[in-house]
Structure 1
């Protein structure tokens, strides 16, 4: 099966709009419908779009609606690319490599773009939404220094308990060879699966069963030359991933794949791509998956991947600390079982630069494939 993907928007891809991948030539729209808020419901003449702006006081927001509305739903929150501030002191001995360029970039540009107060506003709002589970999809650090890993551990401890929070690494967490392996022990409770095995370099993919969800974390973090921010899953991880997908498929769980780099070619520039993204797409097409979420692009991406069970959404989230370009945001994924699979309600909660508040910026709903739906249907009809 040849994997197929597409974007929500019809505009061609540019350096600032990369929601459309470079393939296949025959792309179809992202199969989502907007969920209007109270104010939007009155605008009956407006044409619905896949990117529907909604008021902050959303009737669909977590903790803003009766429990009976979504009696069996599970809510997963996703943050990504927080790029926590660098320590005040960086030992010069750590800078005889790619990190020197990263340090210069931080002090001349990135520290003005990725702001701790923006991240703090998002985290405060996330706590108020009270999701069941949280994931951080990489790039907590900037240079992959061990001191950064220690500081990030304190931030993770404040965010949520390890049993509620799953972390996967990004390219900045593996800036130079050995950076992730040295830093990973500091985050161990947050990236271990239900049955941890091996060391940092061999432990992924990890699996956490959380209610109806199978949260599967992949590592795409590899050291790359200056000027590049590529990632790679690798054959050992792909082999183990296939086993986990088959296992959780038989358990009738909703399989959510979490990684840092986008897997679909054309989502980001070539120098930032996932080197074995096509191989990963082919694996997912063959084994099936219900939802794929990632970071890295610092922009919203709403794509889809055709699998054996149907079209699986592939969704990217912006940086959680960005105060410029596409402003900081996090995602809430509300997943609940349906007669023919699963339903997904996605809410984008975005930082508002004019007053520093966080609002409900977009909401959409779509159906997720479910491997056992076809087999279950005849039993229900008897």
Structure 2
């Protein structure tokens, strides 16, 4: 399929900053998220004597079979067919941050796993336990997609920054290991300070800039904010607006939505592997057309359970009035 056969699309309204750097032309970014690969083969029962015990109860109960490997396989095939310029992944590749899950997730993404073609940040499920954080498990499996080959270990920190056809792509880590039933995230002062420094160094205000983070940035119910929210979301939003960021992409909620904060558009694509036929929950991903330094279009491609393929689903994220509290 050619890049011109990408399916239904629509214009994106809202404000933008006119770039002062010479624009490169059309660049098409895919945004996928919340793949939740489950793979237990070879895992000792002792690995569940921690937070994974409650996670496993959830996976064999209300979330049993919610995220299907066959949908992820169809997703990777569709991403290859669409001949995209770059793929952006906003976390939760795994369920329990097990080595077996990281190995399986990396293997499934391997056909598109090149530094120049794919960018990625961790989600809370990728840093599910203190052991996974201490061992830097996510970074061991996916660090080559975040930091260029030859980057010194001391420089392999968040946020990372890439140039993709003149577009600045920034990756933040909001994932922190928490107690059972808690899934809050935090950027932290160190990352916020480094983000501000990157904004000045790479002149965000004069080029189109995309920031990736796992946790959502919109207001939800009080309980969900306390149990699942990003603790310093307001600080991140204000900094992005002040420094000229155009687009913030996230995952976490599994339901697509969009809102604006000042001049920043914030979009969550929903889960790209959710095995549901409900129109709000069906597996999906977005394609962003960045043209002449502005976000020109958003497409959504949705999984068809009958054909077993992703198909054109019309204009991407819903209007701000439709932001979900899920």
**Shorter-chain TM band:** 0.7 to 0.9
Question: CA contact under 8 A between 1:196 and 1:203: conserved in structure 2?
Answer: no
Cα 1:331–1:112 change in 2 (3 A) is same
The yes-or-no answer on 1:295 pairing with 2:251 is yes
Q: Give distance in 2, aligned partners of 1:194 and 1:292.
A: 26
Cα 1:225–1:59 change in 2 (3 A) is closer
User: Which of 91-100 and 187-196 deviates more?
Assistant: 187-196
Question: After superposition, where does 1:207-246 map in structure 2 within 5 Å?
Answer: 207-246=161-200
User: Per the alignment, in what secondary structure is the counterpart of residue 298 of structure 2?
Assistant: strand
The yes-or-no answer on 1:269 pairing with 2:221 is no
State the match for 1:349 in structure 2. Answer: 301
User: Which of 356-365 and 343-352 deviates more?
Assistant: 356-365
Shift of residue 285, structure 1, vs aligned partner:
2.5
Cα displacement string for residues 272-323 of structure 1 (whole angstroms, at most 9, x for unaligned residues)? 10011111122123222111111111010111110xxxx2210001111101
Q: Give distance in 2, aligned partners of 1:114 and 1:343.
A: 30
How does the TM-score come out when normalised to structure 1?
0.71
Cα 1:364–1:121 change in 2 (3 A) is closer
User: Which of 291-300 and 186-195 deviates more?
Assistant: 186-195
State the match for 1:188 in structure 2. Answer: 143
User: Per the alignment, in what secondary structure is the counterpart of residue 121 of structure 1?
Assistant: helix
Q: Give distance in 1, aligned partners of 2:8 and 2:35.
A: 28
Question: CA contact under 8 A between 1:194 and 1:208: conserved in structure 2?
Answer: no
Shift of residue 125, structure 1, vs aligned partner:
1.4
State the match for 1:361 in structure 2. Answer: 313
User: Which of 205-214 and 172-181 deviates more?
Assistant: 172-181
The yes-or-no answer on 1:279 pairing with 2:235 is yes
Cα 1:256–1:239 change in 2 (3 A) is same
State the match for 1:130 in structure 2. Answer: 83
The yes-or-no answer on 1:304 pairing with 2:256 is no
Query: Which one has the largest radius of gyration?
Result: 1
User: Per the alignment, in what secondary structure is the counterpart of residue 360 of structure 1?
Assistant: strand
Question: After superposition, where does 1:1-382 map in structure 2 within 5 Å?
Answer: 58=7, 72-182=25-135, 183=137, 184-192=139-147, 196=151, 198=153, 203-249=157-203, 252-266=206-220, 269-270=224-225, 271-306=227-262, 311-324=263-276, 325=278, 326-337=281-292, 342-363=294-315
Cα displacement string for residues 331-353 of structure 1 (whole angstroms, at most 9, x for unaligned residues)? 1111011xxx5233100101122
User: Per the alignment, in what secondary structure is the counterpart of residue 323 of structure 1?
Assistant: coil
Structure 2 gap segments, 5+ residues each: 11-23, 318-326
Shift of residue 59, structure 1, vs aligned partner:
6.2
Question: CA contact under 8 A between 2:168 and 2:204: conserved in structure 1?
Answer: no
Question: CA contact under 8 A between 1:144 and 1:180: conserved in structure 2?
Answer: no
Cα displacement string for residues 41-81 of structure 1 (whole angstroms, at most 9, x for unaligned residues)? xxxxxxxxxxxxxxx973659xxxxxxxxx92001111111
How does the TM-score come out when normalised to structure 2?
0.83
Q: How many residues align?
A: 293
Cα displacement string for residues 95-129 of structure 1 (whole angstroms, at most 9, x for unaligned residues)? 11101111222223434211111222222111111
CA RMSD of aligned residues (A): 2.5
Cα 1:155–1:120 change in 2 (3 A) is closer
Question: CA contact under 8 A between 2:7 and 2:299: conserved in structure 1?
Answer: no
Cα 1:107–1:89 change in 2 (3 A) is farther
Larger RCO: 1 or 2 (CA < 8 Å, sep 6+): 2
Question: CA contact under 8 A between 1:264 and 1:281: conserved in structure 2?
Answer: no
User: Per the alignment, in what secondary structure is the counterpart of residue 119 of structure 2?
Assistant: strand
Cα 1:107–1:312 change in 2 (3 A) is same
User: Per the alignment, in what secondary structure is the counterpart of residue 178 of structure 1?
Assistant: helix
Q: Give distance in 2, aligned partners of 1:291 and 1:195.
A: 29
State the match for 1:21 in structure 2. Answer: none
Q: Give distance in 2, aligned partners of 1:57 and 1:281.
A: 31
State the match for 2:18 in structure 1. Answer: none
